[in-house]
C-alpha cells in the first residue's frame, strides 16, 4: 500500500473516529495479506475490530459509572464453598433471560454467604451484554431520595433508579426504615414493575420485611410487585468472610 493511500485512510479514520483503524492500519493489512482475505473479508475484519474496541470501551465506562463494589464474574464464585447452592440455576440466571423478561431476582441468606457477589456478577454479565446497570445499597438509595425530596429534586433523582435495565439493591434488611422512606422504595419498585429488572439481596426472610419497612401492608405491596416475576435463591451455607478464621480441628473461630 502506498504512503499516500495509507495517509488518506488514516485521515479518514480520524474524521470518522475509527481509532482502531487509524492506529492499527498496518497490522490489519498484514493480517489480510497473510490470510489472503478478499475485499469483503478485509472490510469485515476492520469493522469487527472497531466494534470490539468500542464495545470494550463502552463496557469499561459503564462499569465505572455503575456503582458496583467490584467487577467479579460468575466464574469467580466459589460454588464448592456453597454446595447447597444450585449452580445450574445461577448459570441460567447468567444467561440473562430474566433481564429480557424484565423480571427480578431475590438473593436471600445470612451475611457473608455470597449474595452480593452473585448480584454483582449478574450485573457484570448484563453490562457485558449491553444492558445498562446500577448498584446501590438500600440505605444509600433511601438517603439519596430523601435528600432529593428535601431539595425538590425527588422526581429527577428517582430516574437514577428507574433508567437502568438492571438495578441491584443490596442489603435489604440491615437497617429498618420508617414509613416515609419505605414509601419511596415502594414508588421505585412500583415504577420499575414489568419495565426493568431488580436484583435484591437480603438477610431477612420475606416474612420479616414488614419489620424492615415499618409497615406490613406497605411491605406486602412491595413484595407483591417484586415477586410477581421473580427468581428466588436462598443461600444457606457458611460465611466466606469467616472461613479463614475457623479452626479445622474444633470448628470454632480462632481468637
**Assigned domain for 248 exists:** no
Beta strands in 71-203 (DSSP E): 104-109, 133-137, 166-172, 197-202
**Assigned domain for 250 exists:** no
What pLDDT, on the 0 to 100 scale, is given for residue 251? 46
Over residues 88-121, the pLDDT tens digits come to 999 999 999 999 999 999 999 999 999 999 999 9
Same domain, 118 and 183: yes
What pLDDT, on the 0 to 100 scale, is given for residue 240? 79
What pLDDT, on the 0 to 100 scale, is given for residue 205? 95
CATH of the domain at 81: 3.40.50.300
Q: Which of 33, 65, 97 is at the close of a domain?
A: 65
Q: Which of 22, 47, 65 is at the close of a domain?
A: 65
**Torsions phi, psi for 110 (to 5 deg):** -65, 165
Residues belonging to the chain = 255
Q: Which residue has the cell 449478574?
A: 122
SS3 at position 94 = helix
Over residues 136-146, the pLDDT tens digits come to 999 999 999 99
Residue whose C-alpha is closest to residue 60's, from 113, 126, 127: 127
The answer for residues whose C-beta is within 8 angstroms of residue 166's C-beta and 6 or more apart is 99, 122, 123, 126, 131, 132, 133, 134, 196, 197, 198, 199
Quick check: 214 and 176 in contact, CB under 8 A? yes
What pLDDT, on the 0 to 100 scale, is given for residue 18? 84
Over residues 109-118, the pLDDT tens digits come to 999 999 999 9
**Assigned domain for 195 exists:** yes
Beta strands in the chain (DSSP E): 104-109, 133-137, 166-172, 197-202, 230-235
**Assigned domain for 233 exists:** yes
19-34 vs 3-15: helix crossing angle, rounded to 10: 140
What pLDDT, on the 0 to 100 scale, is given for residue 242? 67
Same domain, 59 and 115: no
Same domain, 53 and 169: no
Q: Which residue has the cell 455470597?
A: 114
**Assigned domain for 251 exists:** no
Same domain, 50 and 131: no
Quick check: 183 and 218 in contact, CB under 8 A? yes
Same domain, 110 and 215: yes
Mean pLDDT of the chain: 90
Mean pLDDT of the region 182-210: 97
Mean pLDDT of the region 45-73: 87
Q: Distance between alpha carbon 134 and the CA centroid of its chain, in Å? A: 6
CA distance 158 to 165: 14
Binned at pLDDT 50, 70 and 90, residue 245 comes out as: low
Same domain, 99 and 163: yes
Same domain, 43 and 119: no
Quick check: 152 and 186 in contact, CB under 8 A? no
Same domain, 44 and 84: no
Same domain, 7 and 96: no
204 has pLDDT over 80: yes
Same domain, 54 and 168: no
CA distance 37 to 32: 5
What pLDDT, on the 0 to 100 scale, is given for residue 191? 97
CA distance 212 to 59: 35
Q: Which of 36, 65, 94 is at the close of a domain?
A: 65
Same domain, 54 and 98: no
What pLDDT, on the 0 to 100 scale, is given for residue 254? 34
**Assigned domain for 20 exists:** yes
Q: 137 is in which domain, residue-wise? A: 74-239
pTM of the model: 0.80
**Assigned domain for 203 exists:** yes
Using CA of residue 203, residue 231, residue 74, residue 125, what is the dihedral sign?
negative
Cα distances (angstroms) measured from residue 67 to each of 59, 155, 161, 248: 13, 20, 12, 37
Quick check: 211 and 176 in contact, CB under 8 A? yes
Same domain, 99 and 151: yes
What is the number of domains present in the chain? 2
**Assigned domain for 246 exists:** no
Mean pLDDT of the region 158-185: 96
Mean pLDDT of the region 73-93: 92
Amino acid at each position: 500500500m502506498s504512503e499516500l493511500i495509507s495517509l488518506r485512510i488514516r485521515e479518514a479514520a480520524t474524521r470518522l473516529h475509527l481509532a482502531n483503524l487509524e492506529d492499527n492500519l498496518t497490522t490489519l493489512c498484514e493480517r489480510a495479506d497473510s490470510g489472503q482475505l478478499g475485499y469483503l473479508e478485509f472490510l469485515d475484519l476492520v469493522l469487527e475490530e472497531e466494534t470490539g474496541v468500542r464495545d470494550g470501551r463502552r463496557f469499561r465506562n459503564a462499569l465505572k459509572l455503575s456503582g458496583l463494589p467490584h467487577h467479579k464474574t460468575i466464574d469467580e464464585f466459589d460454588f464448592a464453598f456453597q454446595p447447597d447452592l444450585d449452580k445450574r440455576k445461577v448459570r441460567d440466571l447468567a444467561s440473562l433471560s430474566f433481564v429480557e423478561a424484565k423480571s427480578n431476582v431475590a438473593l436471600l441468606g445470612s451475611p457473608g454467604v455470597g449474595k452480593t457477589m452473585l448480584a454483582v456478577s449478574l450485573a457484570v454479565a448484563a453490562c457485558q451484554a449491553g444492558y445498562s446497570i446500577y448498584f446501590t445499597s438500600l440505605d444509600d438509595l433511601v438517603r439519596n431520595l430523601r435528600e432529593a425530596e428535601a431539595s425538590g429534586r425527588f422526581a429527577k433523582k428517582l430516574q437514577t433508579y428507574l433508567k437502568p435495565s438492571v438495578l441491584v439493591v443490596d442489603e435489604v434488611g440491615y437497617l429498618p426504615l420508617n414509613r416515609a422512606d419505605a414509601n419511596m422504595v415502594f414508588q421505585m419498585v412500583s415504577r420499575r414493575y414489568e419495565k426493568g429488572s431488580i436484583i435484591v439481596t437480603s438477610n431477612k426472610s420475606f416474612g420479616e420485611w414488614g419489620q424492615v419497612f415499618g409497615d406490613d401492608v406497605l411491605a406486602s405491596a412491595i413484595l407483591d410487585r417484586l415477586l410477581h416475576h421473580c427468581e428466588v435463591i436462598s443461600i444457606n451455607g457458611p460465611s466466606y468472610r469467616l472461613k479463614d478464621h475457623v479452626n479445622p480441628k474444633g470448628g470454632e473461630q480462632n481468637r
